[in-house]
A and B are shown apart, each in its own frame.
Chain A
Amino acid sequence: MNKIDDISGTEYKYVGTRPVRPDGVDKVTGKAQFGADLYAPGMLFAKILRSPHAHARILSVNTDKAEALDGVKAVLTYADLELGDGGHDLEDDMNHVLENVMARGKALYDGHAVAAVAANSASIAKRALKLIDVEYEVLPHVTDIEKAIAPDAPIIHEDMYTQDMDPKPEKPSNVARRMEIGHGDIEAGFEKADFIFERRFRTEAAHQGYIEPHACLANYRSDGHAEIWCCTQGHFMVRSACAALLGMDLSKLRVTASEIGGGFGGKTTVFIEPVALALSRKCGRPVKLVMDRDEVFRASGPTPSSVIDVKIGANKEGVITAGFAELWFQGGAFPGSVIDLGAMCSFACYNLENVKAIGWDVVVNRPKSAAYRAPGAPMAAFAVESALDDLADRIGIDPIDFRLKNAAEEGTIASFGPKFRRIGLKETLEAAKASDHYNSQLGPNQGRGVASGFWFNFGGTTSASIKIELDGTAVVTVGTPDIGGSRASMCQMAAETLGIPYEDVRCIVADTSSLPYSATTEGSRTTHSSGMATVYAAQNAIGVMCSRAAMIWGIPEDAVDWKDGHARPSGANAGDFEPMSLAEIAKKAHETGGPIAGHCEFEAGKVGQSFGTHIADAEIDPETGFTKIVRYTVIQDAGRAIHPSYVEGQYQGGAVQGIGWALNEEYIYGEDGRLQNAGFLDYRMPVCSDVPMIETEIVEVPNTGHPFGVRGVGETPIAPPLGAIGNALSHAIGRRMDTIPMSPPRVLEAVNGG
């Protein structure tokens, strides 16, 4: 059999085309089933009681009256959840996950779950919540980073001492951990600088804003087996977490990923699934639990907010001599904000001799943060790209030329350590410089900003199987939920490998009992890792088909090649027999040894890192401070775009999320520690009339580690927008913007010289 060449230069039939996705018709006709769309016989509806306090000791929870209400079937408190010793595989501290799912002893943020009810109807469940008596002792709270790290701050975890400090701290604090990366001697670097930029930047927390609230249906059976249907980025993760939290064997829990209505990182952990499952275990009935939108805002996992001090020096020739950043990220009420990623991403785009980034992981009385698209990168890039923009102005060099002069390339020692392999940052910068957008004129009150961004891209544990049907079609099975059209990409890669039409391949996402473990759809890994697994599974099936052809022809197995969907005799036997198509071999499967299938279970490595450059034109209204993005371009290295429309879609969607975060979106906490804008009306995400068309250019510098060159594209698009828009606004106003979001009041203040 032929091996697929790594980047062979082969002309592809399906890779790089734009077919209709296999799940498309269901999605445009309303038939697709999302998290809340499944109903089970005898199903109950559940609701969660949440703390109205930012920080409070829970003295008692009395559920007697709720349990007595007609129609109530189960009431749950923390006492019903206990960490088992089950062999879960998750890296998270499961004690924190458990405590986040249901408060134990203390409520740590406004919205923290305290109890839950399952009843015959949602309205009965809601009434029952009001009958639960919770006695709180309200404690002082802190929701702001700078206040949380002040010496007199209320301490959230009395047993938390800052880790990785030398010497070890004597007192507990709200700082969970310190980390540092870098190389060289920044002091020496700053000595050599002709220009130095130094400033503090702040970004508020944003929410992923997926339109589908968290939803699940859990069914615990009397024999100890259970099923969960839920919207998640990783159903294997849900299984591990729920099994751990309920003390179950992994094999007794089967989790099916529904269609998922957006995730962006926010559905990479559990919130309600263990609660629904524990309620179902308690009453022996299927339990459906769906979050309301205000619960999503108050009690799922938004981004950290951040405070970032940045100092960058450059010489007159435009070479950066030193870069320093100190970043504080609050990850909510538990340790584990994405401070490592923030620090590692901050200077990843640049080739710096002297660089240092220090990260501090801070806890506050807010919901435990979760990943949001390139977690940590947008905030860090905002600070660093703003600094670069200011330096370019002062040096008198074009901002793209400045970046080109300092850009990381193959062989550059990354700020986070290793040498880069082949990467495409320079290609994106050159494309930006040549673009029509960059060479167009600006109107009055308009400013233009440029910024670059980086994301690692992930590999990880992955499985796929492919079966060849008797009629010559194929079904691919993967374990990574499809959020943005990945099933189409899998079908394209399988069709390309097998040599059969795209329309003859289907792809499904299998439940946890039907396929070996697959890591979560996160880190831009799905098209890369499940794609590789699909290709290898298809090659595996091709091997089986070649051996069947050899059997039919009566020649040795290794004398059969596979090309264009046909087995062909090769070597000494070349030309002895007519090539046999996949369909012909498939048809004879039951006579030649049984069904034909291929599979792949592996640890996907060889990821290709991804870089992008964005150009933003912003127009301000100097009277109101309102900002309109009038033109926006995304240029990014995809490695290889399997389905260019969905790659463009990732670029456009990431850019618009970035526009929202840059201009409007923010978590607003009151003095009382409560979230004041837990709804789409007050947490203002971009609507259709807010944004222009988003221009895109796909750069392709193939990842040689992937059979088709895929790097992964989902996350990098949100790294540059905060910086690009910040730079555009700074030019439009004539003052450096340093706080996200750059909402109308902040813009107006800057316009008026504040």
Chain B
Amino acid sequence: MSNIHVSATVNGDAVEFLCEPDESLLDSLRDRLALTGSKEGCGTGDCGACSVVLDGRLVCSCLVLGAEADGRTIETIEGVADGDDLHPLQQKFLDHAALQCGICTPGFLVAAKALLERNPDPDETEIRYWLAGNLCRCTGYDKIVRAVMDAAEEMRQ
């Protein structure tokens, strides 16, 4: 089987890559484009560690084919900060110690950013249900939820 040529926009940059027909977008991002910030925790869409935004929609990149990205726009964890300026969510995750090992952190940040772009003032329950697709095994979620609430408050001002 021959590889497929894909042109896409990733974090604002035009990119091109070749991928195998059955290759996940996650593998393409990691193995072809060296964007290793998105992580594979399960490969079955259950853990959210590979969360990216595809044409404005939050998806698990392990459940999307690399070939499907052709002509589309993808935002990954690598595009969340503006150069050296951290996004308020990133800063609040640091301030609240909302990460321990940090493997789930990219997925949580991408998912939380997508939430706040839709709903700038979510309550605790809305945050908990929106983030229910992201597994964290270290924190018990407490500090993650607090960091998202705090970031939302700061972003509203």
Interface set of A (CB-CB < 8 Å, partner B): 18, 20-21, 23-25, 27-34, 36-37, 39, 121-123, 208-213, 259-264, 290, 292-293, 483-485, 643, 645-646, 648-650, 652-657, 679-681, 685-691, 693-694
Contacts and interface: CB of A to CB of B under 8 A. Distances in A.
Interface in B105-126: 105-106, 109, 124-125
B103 A211 contact: yes
Contacts of B76: 30
A499 B80 CA distance: 36
Contacts of A37: 30, 36
B43 A264 contact: no
Given A18-B97, A212-B101, A649-B100, A688 B77 contact: no
B97 A688 contact: no
Contact of A210 (B31, B96, B101): B101
Residue of A28, A121, A654, A686 with highest tally of chain B CB at under 10 A: A28
A646 B97 contact: yes
A348 B3 CA distance: 61
Interface string B36-52: 11111111101101000
Interface string B133-156: 111111111111110000000000
B131 interface: yes
A212 B128 contact: no
Contacts of B40: 36, 213, 290
A262 B101 contact: yes
Nearest to B143: A649
Contacts of A25: 86, 94
Contact of B99 (A28, A656, A681): A28
A259 to B, nearest CB: 7
Nearest 5 A-B pairs (CB), nearest first? A30-B37, A261-B103, A656-B140, A27-B102, A652-B140
Contacts of B106: 28, 30
Given A645-B143, A693-B145, A653 B77 contact: no
Contacts of B46: 293, 679-681
23 contacts: A20-B95, A21-B94, A23-B102, A27-B99, A27-B102, A34-B103, A36-B39, A36-B40, A37-B30, A211-B101, A213-B40, A261-B101, A262-B103, A483-B101, A645-B96, A645-B143, A649-B97, A652-B139, A654-B140, A687-B131, A688-B131, A693-B124, A693-B145
Contact of B44 (A209, A293, A686, A688): A293
A652 B86 CA distance: 26
B132 interface: yes
Interface of B: 20, 22-23, 27, 30-31, 34-44, 46-47, 49, 76-78, 80-81, 86, 90, 93-97, 99-106, 109, 124-125, 127-129, 131-146
A500 B91 CA distance: 24
Given A29-B80, A211-B137, A656-B141, A687 B132 contact: yes
A379 B146 CA distance: 31
Contacts of A122: 27
A689 B20 CA distance: 37
Nearest to B38: A30
A212 B128 CA distance: 22
A123 B97 contact: no
Given A657-B137, A691-B141, A20 B47 contact: no
Nearest to B92: A28
A375 B128 CA distance: 30
Contacts of A656: 139-141
A648 B131 CA distance: 21
A716 to B, nearest CB: 15
B127 A688 contact: yes
A32 B43 CA distance: 20
B60 to A, nearest CB: 12
A688 B128 contact: yes
Contact of B41 (A24, A30, A293, A686): A293
B136 A211 contact: yes
Contacts of B137: 208-211, 262, 264, 653, 657, 685
Contact of B102 (A20, A32, A36): A32
A29 B97 contact: no
Contacts of A121: 20
A122 B26 CA distance: 14
Nearest to A36: B40
A213 B97 contact: no
Contacts of A688: 127-129, 131-132, 134, 136, 141, 144-145
Nearest to A290: B40
A680 B42 contact: yes
A714 to B, nearest CB: 10
A293 B97 CA distance: 27
Contact of B100 (A29, A39, A293, A653): A653
A261 B102 contact: yes
